[in-house]
Amino acid sequence: MRKGGIPVPALAAMGASIVFALQAFGQSDVEKRVDELLARMTLEEKLGQMSQSTAMRAPISDEIKREIRQGRWGSFLNAGSPADRAEAQRIAVKESRLGIPLIFGRDVIHGYRTIVPIPLGQAASWNPDLIERAAALAAREASAEGIHWTFAPMLDITRDPRWGRVAETLGEDPYLTSVLGAAMIRGFQGASPGAPGSVAACAKHYAGYGAAEAGRDYNSTFIPEGQLRDVYLPPFHAAVEAGVASFMTAFNALNGVPASGNEFLTRRILRVEWKYDGLVVSDYESVLEMVKHGYAADPADAAAKAVRAGVDMEMVSATYFDELKRLVEQGRVPLPVIDDAVRNVLRLKFRLGLFEAPMRSATETEITAAARDLAREAAAESVVLLKNDGVLPLGGGVRRIAVIGPLADSPVDQMGSWVMDARPEEVETPLASLRKRMGADGVRYAAALRNSRDASRENFGDAVAAARASDVVLLFLGEEQILSGEARSRAFLNLPGAQENLAEEVAKAGKPVVTVILAGRPLTFQSVTEESSAVLYAWHPGTMGGPALAEILFGERSPSGKLPIAFPRTVGQIPIYYAHLNTGRPAPPGELGIPMGNPVDPQGYTSKYLDVELTPEYPFGFGLSYARFEYSNLRVSSPAFARGGSIVVSAEIANAGSREGFEAAQLYIRDRVASVARPVRELKGFQRVHLKPGEKRTVSFTLSERDLAFHNQAMQRVAEPGDFDVWIAPDSASGVHGEFTFTE
């Protein structure tokens, strides 16, 4: 990526000539082409390039065709068919004055025609290679239909499952999100975002969107700078380092300043500190929404604030095109600010090769067998085993299965949110897969509910009868697709409708119950767990969720998923996450209830609840297997290391079980004393190992100064000397422990 952009000081002094001089020195061929084209553009054409529309309908209207000819739009999103896009591009390139190609964007979030698990489910695989391959598949399918640019990955950190968009995140942890987000970007963009089969990726939503107060989508976020820099920004910085082609600003106000007009975020950090020269696009009307935020007086003020803050392209709202010409003429917005935004737009188009190949392909894709295999692998590796009393894997003695619940056979729900181009008829549901295996006579199906919200118990009898007539019950519970994703925040996390009652009635049949939960977020389902012999969490698993679950249920593959986010016992515990501070009155795990002491003798006056244990139902990183992994013998290569040095931390993992399996071994540290209190644990590494029964493996991690660094009170990123705890663990609440010292 080119180093540069408009540093705020130069902008403030309107030292545009300084900027152009810098850019002239060492500019690449792309920069030369950008500048040459820019010099030929009228102000209207510049503002057109800064504008993105969703208004292209099939067939393309004469008005849109006219506007394309006039250079009114630089981009379209989520619009048209492959043929529409090809026609629109032909008009742009052949019939507009400068022939600047359009860039077509789309929300290709977790698959295009072939749907893989929602990102939260993919994160449960802890498998960067798999995630990269899944993104590459999505890019191949989308680019074949004329899509140049996807609005993914979503890199927002969240610790609040009430927020519906938790489904689109990679979980609660900055390190895991950074590693997996970078893998997704590599998958989408390949060797180059302009190469055939690749698309430009987009790091979103910048920044802090997942910290929405009360878990309510679009709500205010208040994040101290130290936490912003140590928790919410690292995945975005990792995206810059991974070469992400674009950023999208968020809807939320961050500390009172909307992210789509926030110079601190998009100029100071993104352009100056990180030296990013990709394109920044707003979110859907988020520029105009600054008026509703009470941050802009009117559309003109919103346009001025957004473009000054460094938002290069306005998504859907039209304040740039409608207002900026006059603002430039009035001297309220300097022309160099416009030019720098247009440069970022043109640079992306040149980098994507759009001027050479404006429409690489516009044919309808088909799902291939290889795509199905990859989707099945991704779905299988996303499944987390939360409980198993030994009923799984299902043995040969199981001849008759009761499959209960509407989510067992609901293609649309199984695919999850943000699915625009997939076809439900191409989805294989768990019921279909189980019938394939067991034969129609081996499976009795009872939906029992119309959908996950259904509160009626009128069809419970069919479910109980099916259970009684079977050897084992597979109970499918969870959330429909429409309860998950954008604008889908919930104040409660329990299973919707009468699902808990259904589980209770089915349990009375006295047969072993395996509960499979399909959902877009952590839910609370303690009573169901108590009534189940086993619980599998399958998220919204996508096109091949059925075959993936069948493989796991029948033991062809051990479940290997690990939770990328903590599961609360109750919604009242939120926010609940593993990397919390210790507080001055930490409560021992398991403590709850009325303190024994009193204000004079404060025994038991610790940070806990009267009515629920303070630990989560399931901690970050948790997941069981059919194998049985045992961790032992943590060793450090040296008791201490100094700046510039490193140590190796290792431990042994043995499979003491009778089945093979994959295990994501996790490395955590704790900085015991620092100038800013540090979390009780922080993930700093993980490795997936495969062990056969009886096999033992040593896993090793190298720790260096950069792994220990955090932002101190002066907002300097530092590693401070001191003593550290270290764990290699199966999850964030256990593992083998050691210690080391970091010295000057």
Contact residues toward ligand GLC (CB under 6 A) are: 77-78, 107, 151, 204, 283-284, 486
CB of 77 to ligand GLC, least distance (A): 6
Query: Is the Cβ of residue 152 or residue 519 nearer to ligand GLC in the bound state?
Result: 152
CB of 646 to ligand GLC, least distance (A): 39
| Contact call for residues 278 and 241 (beta carbons, < 8 A) | no
Query: Is the Cβ of residue 77 or residue 203 nearer to ligand GLC in the bound state?
Result: 77
Q: Which of 699, 695, 686, 701 is nearest to 652 (CA)?
A: 699
Q: How far is residue 445's CA from residue 401's CA, in Å, rounded to a whole number?
A: 8
Residue 743, strand partner residues: 642
CA angle, 37 then 41 then 44, to 5°: 145
* Phi, psi angles (nearest 5°) of residue 726: -145, 140
CB of 284 to ligand GLC, least distance (A): 4
Please name the amino acid found at residue 376. R
H or E segment to which residue 150 belongs: strand 149-150
CB of 249 to ligand GLC, least distance (A): 10
Reading across the β-sheet that carries 246-249, which strands appear in turn? 202-206, 246-249, 279-281
Query: Is the Cβ of residue 520 or residue 738 nearer to ligand GLC in the bound state?
Result: 520
Which residue of the set 84, 160, 283, 731 is catalytic? 283
| Contact call for residues 157 and 169 (beta carbons, < 8 A) | yes
Count of residues making up the chain: 744
Residue 54's Cβ-count burial label (10 Å; 0-12, 13-18, 19+) is: middle
Q: What is the distance, to the nearest Å, from the Cα of residue 579 to the centroid of all Cα atoms in its chain?
A: 18
| Contact call for residues 236 and 261 (beta carbons, < 8 A) | no
Query: Is the Cβ of residue 489 or residue 615 nearer to ligand GLC in the bound state?
Result: 489
Residue 338 is encoded by which pair of tokens?
Answer: 């416009």
Q: How far is residue 72's CA from residue 300's CA, in Å, rounded to a whole number?
A: 18
Q: What is the distance, to the nearest Å, from the Cα of residue 142 to the centroid of all Cα atoms in its chain?
A: 19
CB of 78 to ligand GLC, least distance (A): 6
Query: Is the Cβ of residue 252 or residue 625 nearer to ligand GLC in the bound state?
Result: 252
Query: Is the Cβ of residue 487 or residue 610 nearer to ligand GLC in the bound state?
Result: 487
Q: How far is residue 59's CA from residue 88's CA, in Å, rounded to a whole number?
A: 10
Reading across the β-sheet that carries 472-478, which strands appear in turn? 384-388, 534-537, 513-518, 472-478, 401-404, 443-446
Cα dihedral 247→251→254→259 (10° resolution) = 40
Q: Which of 325, 251, 338 is nearest to 288 (CA)?
A: 251
The Cβ of residue 329 has, within 10 Å, a number of other Cβ atoms equal to 11
CB of 204 to ligand GLC, least distance (A): 6
Query: Is the Cβ of residue 204 or residue 562 nearer to ligand GLC in the bound state?
Result: 204
> Which residues have C-beta within 8 Å of that of residue 589, sequence separation ≥ 6?
613, 614, 615, 733
Residue nearest to ligand GLC (CB): 151
> Which residues have C-beta within 8 Å of that of residue 390, sequence separation ≥ 6?
533
CB of 743 to ligand GLC, least distance (A): 45
CB of 148 to ligand GLC, least distance (A): 15
* Phi, psi angles (nearest 5°) of residue 210: -75, -5
The Cβ of residue 17 has, within 10 Å, a number of other Cβ atoms equal to 10
CB of 276 to ligand GLC, least distance (A): 19
CB of 106 to ligand GLC, least distance (A): 8
| Contact call for residues 104 and 75 (beta carbons, < 8 A) | yes
Q: What is the distance, to the nearest Å, from the Cα of residue 624 to the centroid of all Cα atoms in its chain?
A: 23
Query: Is the Cβ of residue 177 or residue 452 nearer to ligand GLC in the bound state?
Result: 177
Please say if 160 is a catalytic residue.
no
Query: Is the Cβ of residue 250 or residue 324 nearer to ligand GLC in the bound state?
Result: 250
Query: Is the Cβ of residue 106 or residue 435 nearer to ligand GLC in the bound state?
Result: 106
Q: How far is residue 167's CA from residue 177's CA, in Å, rounded to a whole number?
A: 13
- Would you name the residues annotated as active-site residues? 283
